[in-house]
Structure 1
Amino acid sequence: MSQRKLSLLMILCSLVGGVIGFVVGEVILSQLSTELPQWLLMGLYFGQYALFVGVMCLVAEMISPRLNGHGWKQRYVGASWKMLVPSTLVMVGVAAMLLQLLYGFSYQRASSTDNIVMLLDTSDSMKVSDPNNQLFQAASDVVRKMDNDMQIAVITFNDRTEVLQPLVQLSDQNVKDTVIAKLQNHPGPSGGTQIEKALQTALEQLQAAQQLNPSSTVVLMSDGYSNVDLQKAMEPYKQANMHIHTVGMSQVDADGTYLLKRIAEETGGTYFNVDHAEELSGIFGQIYDMSRQDRNLVSERTGATSDSTFFAIIRVVGMLIIGGLLGLALGLIFDNRHLAKSFTIGGAVAGLLAGLLLESALTSTDWLDTTIRLLACALMAVVMTLFTVFIPASTSGGQISFKSRIGLGKRSSERMLESGNRTSKRFDS
C-alpha cells in the first residue's frame, strides 16, 4: 500500500551531503578551473556532489529505514552500496559533462573578435615599484600566448597618454612580434599619473574601431593615484557592459588601492593586488584566461552572452536534468520504483529552482557567488528529499532488489527445466 512519508533524518543528512559536496566543489573550482576544460570541471563538480548526497541519504536510511522499510535494511543494503558510485558519481557526472558541452558550445560566430586594451602605468614612481621593467615583460608574455583571433591595443600613461599600439588583430606571429617589439622598446618611466586620461583614450580607441561592446576588456595597471570622476569615466563602459580589470602594486597608498578597486567593481571586473613586480606576468596571464574562459553552469556568464535568453534557458534546463538524475540515482540506490518516482520529480523541481537561482543571482563578486552556489546546492538536496511527502511511496511491491531479480531468474529457469523434463518423460512413455 502506497503512502506519503517523511524522513526528517534523510532531509537533514541530504542537506549535510549537499554542503559537503558544495565545499569539495568549490575547492575543485578554485584549484582546477584553469587546469581542466569546463566540461570535465562540471562533471567532477556535480559527480562528487551527487556522490556525497547519495552517501548521506544511504546512511540516513540505514539508521532509520523509514522510507524503504526494514526488509531493505536486512537484505539489500549491500546491493545499495554497490550501486552508489555508478548511480551518482558516474551517471550524474557524465550527464553534467554533456550538459556543460551543450552550454559552453558556441552556436554562432561572433561578429567581432575579442579585444583587450592594456593601460600600462609609466609614471616616475614605477622606477621604484618595477625597477626591472617586469610590467612590459609581462605584457609581452601575454601577447605571446594570445589566440590569433584576438585584437589588442596598448596604451601607456603618466601625466599624458600614448597609444603604443593601436587596436590590431594578432593574426600571425609577425604581428605578435611587432607588438612585442614595441613593448620592449617603450620609453622609460617619467612624469605623474593620470588614470582618467588613460581610460578616455582607451574608450576612444574602442569607439574608433567600433568595438565598444561586451567582447572587449580593459586591463588597467597602476601604482599610483589620481583624481577620477568615476561616474563620468565609468558610464560608457557600463553602458557597453564592458569589464575593466585593475592591477595595483602593494606600494600603492590606500587611496590608490581604493580607486582601482572601485573601477573594477563599477564595471564587474576584478582587482588584483601585486606584492612584487615579478608576479605581473602570472596576473596578466590569469586575466587573459578569464577573458577567454568558457561558460560553465555554476558561474556568472559574461561577455556577449551575458544577457542571452538562449543560454539562460540552457543553464536552467541543464540544472533541471541534473536534479532529476540525482533523484533517479537515489531511486536506483534504494532499488524502489516508488522512491525513484518521488525523488526524480523532486530532484527535477529542485534543479529547476537551483537553476533559476544561479541564473538570476550570480554576479562578479566572489563571496556572493560562493553564497549563491551554497544555497543552490542546499536547495537541490532538501527539496528533492521533501517530495516523499507529496508523492506516495511503498515499502512493498515497489522494491525488487538486484539479488531478488537474480533469484527469481534462477527459480524460473529451474521451473522451466523441471517442466521440460516432465514433458519429455511423458513423450518417452
Structure 2
Amino acid sequence: MFENIQFANPQFFWLFLILPVAIVWYFFKRKKETASLKISSIKGFKGAPSMLAKLKPLLFVLRLLALSALIVAMARPQKEDISTRTKTTRGIDIVMAIDVSSSMLARDLKPNRLTALKKVAADFIKERVNDRIGLVVYAAESFTKTPITSDKAIVLRSLNDINYGQLEDGTAIGMGLATSVNRLKDSKAKSKVIILLTDGVNNSGFIEPQTAASLAIEYGIKTYTIGLGSNGMALSPIAYNPDGSFRYGMSKVEIDEALLKDIAEKTGGVYFRATDNEKLSEIYEEINKLEKTDIEEFKYYNYEEEFRMFALLACGLLMLEYLLRYTVFRSFV
C-alpha cells in the first residue's frame, strides 16, 4: 500500500504530538463525562457490569483514529512515477589510425601486436555508444577503411577485417595522420579526436608528420598517439620462407617517441607507450576516460494523489463515532 509513497507536506506529522496530550487529557477527565449521583447505599443497584460501559472508550479511540487519518491526509501522500529521457549534448567524432606494417606482426604482444590491438580497439569502440567512429589504416600509404559512422556494427566488422598485406610495407605516419585529418576536417562535432597508433618510425609517404600535425591543429583536431612495442628486442618478421610465410627473428624495437610526443603535445593530446597487452588495454581505457561525451538527462515526474482515501477514512470514523455516541452509547453520554 505504501510502496513508492512520499509526502508533499511532511511537516504536518508534527500534529501527531497532539495524540499523547489527548490521551492524557482523556485519562484524567473520563470520570467527569458521566453524571454522578450520591445515595446512602447502592445495594439495590448491584449486578453484572454493563458491556456498553466497558466499550465506551471505543468512542475516544475512533476519534483518535479519525484525527490520525486526517493528519496523514494533510501531509498529502503521493505516488511518484519518474520517467527519464537522455540526450547527447556533446558528440565526439573519433578516427582510429592503425599501423598495418609487417612489424605489427611482432610477437612481443600476444598473439601479435595487430591482433592484440584489434581486440582492445573493439572493446573501446563498444564503450563509445554515443559517438561516431571511423577507421584509417596505413603502411607505406594510407586509406580510409571506414568513414566516421555511428553504426558500431560496421566499424567492428571493418576492424576485424584489418590484416597485414592490404598495403605496401612501410610506415607512413604522416600519411596516416593526414588521411585521418581529412576524414574529420568537415565534421560538425563539438570535439574531434584522432587516435594514432604505430610501432615504428616514419619511413614512407610524401606527407611529413609535422605537416599533418599542423593540419590537425588548423582544424582543431586533438591527437592521441600510441607507441606500440616492448622495450629492447622483439620477435619480429625478418624474412620470407620459401612458402611465402614470414621467418621470425629477434629485432630491435624502434619507435620515434620524440615525434609522437611532439604530435600529441602540439594538438592537445597525450602520448602513450604500450609495452604489453595489459598496458595497451589501460591506454585505451585512459583515453575513454579523457574523452567523455556529455549526456543531458531529462526527468519527468508524475504524481498520483493518495490523500483522498485518508480524508474519507477520517470522515467515516467521525460519522461512526457520532452515530455510536448518540445511539448505542446515548445513555452514557
TM-score, normalised to structure 2's length? Answer: 0.49
**Structure with bigger gyration radius:** 2
More strand by share: 2
Higher relative contact order (CA 8 A, sep 6+): 2
TM-score, normalised to structure 1's length? Answer: 0.38
